[in-house]
A and B are shown apart, each in its own frame.
Chain A
């Protein structure tokens, strides 16, 4: 069954530590995205990648970094520079830029930093 796997579902870290969130897809999609959700707010775009070895900043990229070394994988690192890292993080994918199909989301990782 094709889909997006985000792991772990819950993650706890101490302030000042970097943490990497995993996102793997077996949909053979070219484009991948990271969104963040905060309570009472909509999802906001952090980073996206339209093709392997290429990525662009979204609306709230400060304090985050990504890599896209493989088509299936798009890990997100939350660095110590991110001022409010506690949030629900969602990874998503699309077949490619010629396809205006809806984003397909994973089930998210809830990160808590104390």
Chain B
């Protein structure tokens, strides 16, 4: 049972435009959500997170939106840069469990063309 899903395996955008990566979840106990970026043969690096008490969190070019009623979150990258090309994973954690116990989506490969 895939509790966190990223339904788009890949996304291609032009440099300078907006990238929107989507993530859906099914477990209503999830209350903390994170986005990680990963290059091949490297570990994921943390990008941005959001708690379920918020519906938006912004950090520079990265903004995460959370729609709890739809069990949906999205990551917006504006403007997109070629260096943003990587695999992006969304992840979720349920309150009351170990904070490091994350459930990950399958990942979306983002390619930003110059």
Contact = CB atoms under 8 A, between A and B. Distances in A.
A48 B99 contact: no
Given A42-B107, A44-B104, A102-B49, A90 B98 contact: no
Contacts of A45: 101-102
B45 interface: yes
Given A104-B46, A105-B43, A42 B4 contact: yes
B41 interface: yes
B104 A92 contact: no
Given A105-B43, A108-B42, A108-B43, A43 B34 contact: no
A41 interface: yes
Contact of B101 (A48, A90, A110): A48
Interface extent on B, as a size class? 20 to 34
Contacts of A105: 43-45
B49 A42 contact: no
Contacts of B49: 102
A107 interface: yes
Interface string B59-94: 000000000000000000000000000000101000
B98 A50 contact: yes
5 contacts: A99-B99, A102-B36, A103-B102, A105-B44, A108-B42
Given A42-B107, A43-B102, A108-B42, 11 more contacts: A33-B101, A40-B106, A42-B89, A42-B105, A43-B91, A44-B104, A90-B43, A94-B100, A97-B99, A105-B44, A107-B43
